Each structure stands twice: as structure tokens, then as C-alpha cells.
Chains A and B, each alone.
Chain A
């Protein structure tokens, strides 16, 4: 048995005032060099914001979706109808969200990975409304889970590309170090 840290950002959308400070600091932090430019379109957190309908949802960039979903969802809560895909974290071919504005490469929240580590994710730090709060939780993990996961992943690649291709690629990658 091992332990892993689960990092959680809690989003209290009712507290959000729509200021987009979270977008500003995320974009600045991920600039190279750090903080050398601002462009909220590059932020890994995006505000779904429509004050006229009282919609204020901060959404974090998650995994890349290679293809758009078979169908889309529209949520209605407390009488408010949210736009299609409002809560989805994916950079997806169906929309511009969570993509670098020039290269269109997908963006993903990395919880402000840094060396030395930040005390807390920066969007959380800059949200003085406490709409975003940070928690860490320790979770027990089975040691072999990782290899299980890996096996599943490789199997998927083999199914897709064929064993030879996958082996060749692995060999090439290990040469490069």
C-alpha cells in the first residue's frame, strides 16, 4: 500500500463575482519567463460568465478530447439554463476553449506545478472571494494500480497502432532519454 496526495480545488460558484483575476494570474504564471506576459485566453481556468443570466462558472482545463462528444448536455439549475458543454473541462474540437490562441495546442491545468512548489494554486490565491479554495487529501493506493493502469494504456495503444509500432516507438523514446 502506498499514499498519494489528491489535490482538490473547490469551486463555490455562488461566491464568484466574475472578475477574471483567476484567468489573469494563471495566464501570467504560465508565460515564459514567468509573469512576463498576460493573455487570459491562455489561462487554464476560464470563466463562463453571463451576468445577465446570473451565470458565473469557473471551469478548469482537463484532458484533451480528440473528438467531440456524441451528444451535448445542457444543464438547468435553479431556473438558469447553462450553455452547451458549460461544465466540461476538455479542450475539444467543437470549441476554442482551453487552447493556445496561436498554435491551438491544448491547455491543461497543472495545479501550478513549480519548483519550489507554490503554497497553493495561484488562481486560488488570487480569488479573494473564496470562490476557489484548495484542499489536499491523502489517499491510500494499491501499489500495483500504476502498472495495471499502464498495462491498460499500452494495450489501448497496441490495439490502435499494432505491437510493432508501439515497440519501435518505445525504443526510439528510450534512446533519446
Chain B
């Protein structure tokens, strides 16, 4: 008998319309846990690096995490994995909501799709009955609308449906997959789904999921719940309110947007508007939120309420969470009412709320700079808000200039040429970043930005304060009950870390200390992404209910796999390096690990080099960022080392030397 997991994957060959229920190897669970871990193994085994994201041979995996469907609080993540059309790298993107637990209860851990359906279809998983159904009547329908239509036609109000909108159907490189109040946004996995002609996957499950050590698990989860309650009543003092509690940043709850509107950049991630926030705006935006917001809502089995239902006047209801609240508003230099109402349309189209607005602002910048012409924008309305609606419509339909912009800022700039590349300035690995432009380089964030396999900082940061505390009392108080912190050295850093003087950035924390901190921050995300716990209860906030000390017990009680903290650390290293290996064979090297050039105003090239050198060594990678043979052996990943050798990766000239040579030639 299998515990916590079902032990079965659904393998769907879309080309042939073949569906198989395949038993998985329990040994893989021991090695890679589940979710991201086992997904990385499947991609490694089945998708060679030459495979194009949109080729039928590419594989698209919808996976539940190992703990999804167990009583573990906030275990609800669906980890979608494939090759990204935008970065051309291994891409994983997670969504909360209700889909993953439902899949487990239907009797499966993953849905693995390959091939391409001859016409638009959706997949209906109802316990043992799985069908590929015609979806031609859903063509062009919104991602939210589709979920409702499918539930209605199946007469299954309790089914959970993940769907793409027009953007996914038209392979927009930043197309999302939407489900209930969550979405899988980053890296264009909605476009991969569209390329396979899959409009949606609906699932309903009413089977039992088994627990290995029931009494133990409930005891541990009751502790998680008690701590969650306590922690929500005790937000971190002297810290930004949206980040002081648990969950994703509490954007739906808090009205005070001084911090975001004045610290994040407007337009195409260009302009910081200090002094923007005032009483009138505060009142106006508060009123907008009050008029549109239905209620705050949660994901499956979670006591936090990071999302909200929103109904802009005259538009259908949709759901939102986190910073998408402001991305459209700020890209368009507009107000909250505009932002929330265009987001409704964008959510139906199914696009990433980070990339989408930036791509549009980028397009308008190119027009202003004369790189694109009025002819490219023929038919566009005059008013600012109207322009954005107009361009959004062109992009998701891939019409005219929209077709070029639909590839994201990097690829659009390559196609446009004429110096457009300089306007695609906010990317890492060709992928649009949060619109943040800051002063002095921050060594921890430097590493987080550089070495983030997902190229999305919120998916690697957390647990460690974003800035020093001001007074010694505040610092001491913070570490006094920081039992989640795995090392005394890290506590010491917080106690010393200051805004000025000997213990201030960028030289403090030192590269060694930064390595240890970042390694821990990232590790938490890898555990979450394997077991399907929301980062909002673990890797992201300070002092979360899940941490390296209760996680092994919880995983063990649920799954029956023997585990302690050391073993869990080892598994995360294995998964982390397997994910990286998938990118190494796709060409990722040190030269690709750079933050946007203008991310910080004051840079420190020598220190930055030292940071990366130190971190790579700490990680068991060579100086070009490739995991060493010895280290891979330690992680039972000899098959990866052998593959690297076969490909000649270990004997290559390092990427930074090639880059230096090239520079000399110019």
C-alpha cells in the first residue's frame, strides 16, 4: 500500500488518444519526494534538450505534491512542469487552489501529457473514468469562463478545472493556466498546453488517500494549526505589514500601497514615483477595492485568505491574489479601478500578471522611441487606458504588432531589432521580472536573482528578513524565538546586520554567510515544491509554521518514508541539482546568471564575482555553475554526471572565458 501518494500516474498520449494508468516506482518517491522532484526526473528521462517547447515530443506534467490531499494544512499546490517557450529552459510553475488534492482523491499523483491532440480537447478525470473530450465549443472562451462551462456541462459542481484562455490557445509566450483562485503563470506553460490542443483538465475524486502514521500526522498538523493561529495574531513587529503575516503578500487585505507604489517602478519598469501616495489616492483606491471585492478566499485546506473575488462594475467576477493587483495599474500609469478591471479581461485571456503588463508598456515605449511606428498601432484608441485594452486584445490574438509582442519582451526585441533590445531591460533568462529598480546592490538578493532556476525571485526568497532591523532590541527580539532558523551563524547575522557601519551591505553579510542564507532560503522552496505545501506557509514568510525541523516528521508520518532533517536536506540537494542539470544540458551557464543590468544603481563587480564564486563552491558546482562529478555522485546522480561527460560539458571552455574572448574581438 502507498501512503500520502496514490502510486499512480496518468499517462496520456494526445496524438493517439491513448490513456494509461501507470504504477510508479516507490523508490523514486524516496529519492525525489514528488511534485517538482519527480517531475524533474521525468523531464530528464524523456525530453532531450533539442526538443522545442511546442513540439509534440515535449512533455507537460500536472503534478500534485506529495502531501496534497493529506490533512497537512495548505498542501494544495499543483506543480506544472515542461519546457518553456520563452526561456527554452526547464520550467516549473505552481498554482494553489483546489486542483491537486482533487487529483489525488481521484487516484493519481500526476497527469503526464505528450503528443498533440488533433483538435481542441479537454480531459475529464472522474476517479477511474478518464476521457478525452471534444472542446471545439470552448475555443476562444475565457479561462475562468471555461471552468464554469465545463462544470456545468459535466453537471459536476465539485469538479476542479484548470484551463487556458485565448492566450494559451494562441501560444502567447507568457500564457497562464488558471484554476479557481490560482494560476500557473510563469514561463508560458499555458502556451505549451495550447500547443498540445488541451483547453482544460477537469478532475473529480472521491477515493480514499491513505496515511502511514495517522495519529502522529494529526498531532503534527494540529501543532501547525496552533502555531498558524498564534502567528497570525502576532505579525512580525517592525516589518512591512503585507509581509508580516503568513500567506502570500496580503495584497487583497491591505489598502495601504505606499510601499509598492513608491518602491516599485511604473511603466516598463522605469519610473520610481516617490511621494506618489497621498490621502486622496488612498481613499480613492480603498473605495475601488471595497466596491469590487466580494470576499477574501483561501486555497484548499488553508486558513489564510490570500485571494479575493473581484467584480469590476459591468464585468464578470474573477479571482485574484498578490501583486497582480498593481501590475496593470503601474504599467499603465493609471489607477486601481483600471488595474482591477483590465486584470479581469487578462485573467480570462489567461496571461501572466507580471509579464503581460510589462510587455505592453514595453510596446508603448518602443512606439514613443520611434522604433515601432504609428502604422504598427493603427486603429488604437487615443486614451491611455483604452490603449492598453487594445494592445492586450492584439497580443492574445496574435494580430499585427500583437503577434510580435506575444513572444515577450526579449524575443520581440530580437525580432524588431533597431535597438529594441535595450528596452527589454528587465529580464533574467529572457523572462520579465518584478518591476524593481533599487539603489545599492544587495548581496543576498544578488545571489537570489542570479541563481534562481525559475527566474522568479518570489519563488526563491523568504524566511530571512529583507532588510536589517533598526535597533539592537528589535534584532535580539527577532532571533529570540526564531526556532525555524537552522543555524546559529544565521541568527548572528541578523543580530549584527545594520543599515550603516561595519555590518552594513553590500560587504555584510559576507559571501560565505550569504551562501549559507540563500542556500537555506532556496531549500525551503524546494521542499515546498516537492510536497505541494504553499510557500506562504513555509518558504516565503518569516517564521512560518512549516520548517526544516517539523517537515521531516510530517513527511514521514504521512508517507511512511523514514526521514530526518539531514535526509531531507540531501533530497532537496538532489532535486535542486537535477533541476539544474535539466538546464545545464539546455545550455545554462554562469554567463546567464545575471540580474537585469539596471536592477541596482550602484554595482560592485568584484564583490559580485566573489559572491558567485563562493556560492558556486558552496553549492558543489564548478566555476561555470555546473554541478561537479563528485558532488553528483554524492547525491546518487551519477547518471547526470555520465550524461554531462558524454556531452563534453566538463571539458568545455567556461562560458565566462568565451564571453571575455568575444568582448576582446569586438
B538 at the interface (CB under 8 A from A): no
Whether A19 lies near B211 (C-beta < 8 A) is no
Confirm or deny: B287 has a beta carbon within 8 angstroms of a beta carbon on chain A.
no
Task: Judge if B207 is at the interface, Cβ distance under 8 Å.
Answer: yes
What total count of A-B pairs have CB within 8 Å?
A: 93
Are A39 and B73 neighbours in the complex by a CB distance under 8 Å? no
| Contact call A24/B71, Cβ cutoff below 8 A | yes
Size class of the contact patch on chain B? 35 or more
Is B69 in contact with A17, judged by CB distance below 8 angstroms?
Answer: no
A52 at the interface (CB under 8 A from B): yes
Which of A18, A37, A38, A42 has the most C-beta atoms of chain B within 10 angstroms of its own C-beta?
A38
Instruction: Return the chain A residue nearest B318 by Cβ.
Output: A52
Partner of B297, one of A31, A35, A51: A51
- At the interface with chain A, which of B9-17, B214-222, B266-274, B647-655? B214-222
Whether a CB of chain A sits under 8 angstroms from the CB of B229 is: yes
- Residues of chain A within 8 A (CB-CB) of B298 are 17-19
CB-CB < 8 A to A128: which residues of B? 225, 228-229, 232, 303
Partner of B295, one of A24, A28, A34, A54: A54
Q: Which residues of B contact A28 (CB under 8 A)?
A: 71, 211, 214, 218
Q: Which A47-86 residues sit within 8 Å CB-CB of chain B?
A: 50-54, 56, 83
| Nearest CB in chain A: distance from B478 CB, A | 25
Q: How many residues of A contact B (CB 8 A)?
A: 31
How many angstroms between the C-alpha atoms of A20 and B208 in the bound complex? 16
Task: Point out the residue from A19, A31, A35, A50 that lies within 8 Å of B300, measured CB to CB.
Answer: A19
In the complex the two chains form, is B210's CB within 8 Å of A36's CB? yes
Q: Is B148 part of the contact surface with A, judged by Cβ < 8 Å? A: yes
Q: How far is the CB of A158 from chain B (nearest CB, A)?
A: 39
Query: Which of these, A17, A34, A39, contacts B214 with CB under 8 Å?
Result: A34
CB contact between A34 and one of B157, B215, B232, B303 (< 8 Å): that residue: B215
User: Which of B73, B211, B316 is A38 in contact with, Cβ under 8 Å?
Assistant: B211
Contacts A28-B218, A52-B309, A54-B295 given; does A36 touch B303 at CB 8 Å: no
The 0/1 profile, CB within 8 Å of A marked 1, for residues 257-290 of chain B is 0000000000000000000000000000000000
Interface presence of B206 (CB below 8 A)? yes
Contact, CB under 8 Å: A35 / B71: yes
Question: Interface centre among B144, B208, B232, B302, by most A CB within 10 Å?
Answer: B208
Within 8 A of B (CB), among A111-148: 126, 128-129
Given contacts A19-B303, A35-B214, 9 further A-B contacts (CB under 8 A): A18-B297, A24-B301, A28-B211, A28-B214, A35-B71, A36-B214, A54-B294, A101-B207, A128-B229
The 8 closest A-B pairs by CB, nearest first: A35-B214, A128-B303, A41-B206, A19-B298, A101-B206, A37-B208, A17-B298, A36-B214
6 A-B residue pairs with Cβ-Cβ distance under 8 Å, sorted by A, are: A17-B297, A35-B215, A39-B207, A51-B309, A54-B294, A126-B225
Q: Residues of B at under 8 Å CB distance from A?
A: 69-71, 73, 98, 105, 144, 148, 157, 180-181, 206-211, 214-215, 217-218, 225, 228-229, 232, 294-303, 305, 309, 316-317, 319
Q: Give the B-binding residues of A (Cβ under 8 A).
A: 14, 17-21, 24-25, 28, 31, 33-42, 50-54, 56, 83, 101, 126, 128-129
